[in-house]
Amino acid sequence: MDSKYQNPEDIFDCKLCGECCRGFGGTYVTDHDRVSIARFIQADPDNFINDYCDMAGSRPVLTQGEDGRCIFFDPEKQCTIHPVKPYMCRAWPFILTLIKNPENWNAMAGSCPGMKKDIPAQDLIRIVTREKARLDRASDE
Ligand code: SF4
Ligand code: SF4
Identity of the amino acid at 2: D
Does the beta carbon of 17 sit less than 6 angstroms from any atom of ligand 1?
yes
Does the beta carbon of 26 sit less than 6 angstroms from any atom of ligand 1?
no
Identity of the amino acid at 52: Y
Alpha helices in the chain (DSSP H): 8-11, 31-40, 45-52, 87-91, 102-109, 121-140
Identity of the amino acid at 124: L
Q: What is the pTM of this model?
A: 0.86
Cα 66 to ligand 1 centroid, rounded to whole Å: 20
Short-list 133, 138, 141, 140, CA closest to 8? 133
Cα 35 to ligand 1 centroid, rounded to whole Å: 25
Cα 95 to ligand 1 centroid, rounded to whole Å: 14
- Tens of pLDDT along the chain (141 residues) come to 688 999 999 999 999 888 899 875 578 999 999 999 999 999 999 999 999 999 999 999 999 998 889 999 998 989 999 999 999 999 999 998 888 888 899 999 998 999 999 999 999 999 999 999 998 888 766
The structural domains of the chain, with segments of one domain joined by +, span 8-140
